[in-house]
Chain A
Amino acid sequence: SQQGEEDPQALSIQEGENATMNCSYKTSINNLQWYRQNSGRGLVHLILIRSNEREKHSGRLRVTLDTSKKSSSLLITASRAADTASYFCATTGANSKLTFGKGITLSVRP
């Protein structure tokens, strides 16, 4: 079963714009991670946020976590064509299992 559900399913923006992707989950978590997958490639870890954290930054990435709403958002600022990829949120629950959502397809137009 898939715990995280990303929203929107697909996003198309112009280079230089910001991209915001959301993830909602159902049960309590220990941490939440975001991964990127370029077409035909494996997943690459982007950022991890723990359940007691509210916001984290890494370069052009900003992740927020609202455990009361069971939701997270990933913001990519000043997007580039190279950011075109699928983005997945993944949650780790009390059973220590990492469960992925279905992913968001981001297209950044040059």
Chain B
Amino acid sequence: EAGVAQSPRYKIIEKRQSVAFWCNPISGHATLYWYQQILGQGPKLLIQFQNNGVVDDSQLPKDRFSAERLKGVDSTLKIQPAKLEDSAVYLCASSFPGGHTGELFFGEGSRLTVL
């Protein structure tokens, strides 16, 4: 079974530029999550989708971050314009419809460096 796919693995940009990350969850997983993990910290949930609907985006900085999951499968997370404090690893995860009550499957992450 293929795991959660993410790209790119690494991205370096200058502040005020934009960046987009892509995620393809495990086939059949209706729930998709984007987490932000700053160095030395645990992952922080940015947004949760159930199929193509948003379940929770309370911690998403909506003035600069946006995410979509148009067909209920793969998803894109965008940052525009980027700030220095956005330097982090962006992790995508997916799960069965049970959502947070069960196991999450994570991708390898996309490491963003903002200069």
Contact = CB atoms under 8 A, between A and B. Distances in A.
Interface residues of A, number: 23
A2 B105 contact: no
Interface residues of B, number: 22
A41 B106 CA distance: 9
A101 B42 contact: yes
A43 B3 CA distance: 12
Nearest to B41: A102
A42 B38 CA distance: 13
B102 interface: yes
B32 interface: no
Interface string B92-115: 010000011111111111010000
Nearest to A98: B100
B4 A88 contact: no
A38 B45 CA distance: 20
Contacts of A102: 40-42
Interface of B: 4, 40-45, 56, 91, 93, 99-109, 111
Interface of A: 2, 4, 30-31, 33, 40-45, 48, 88, 90, 92, 96-103
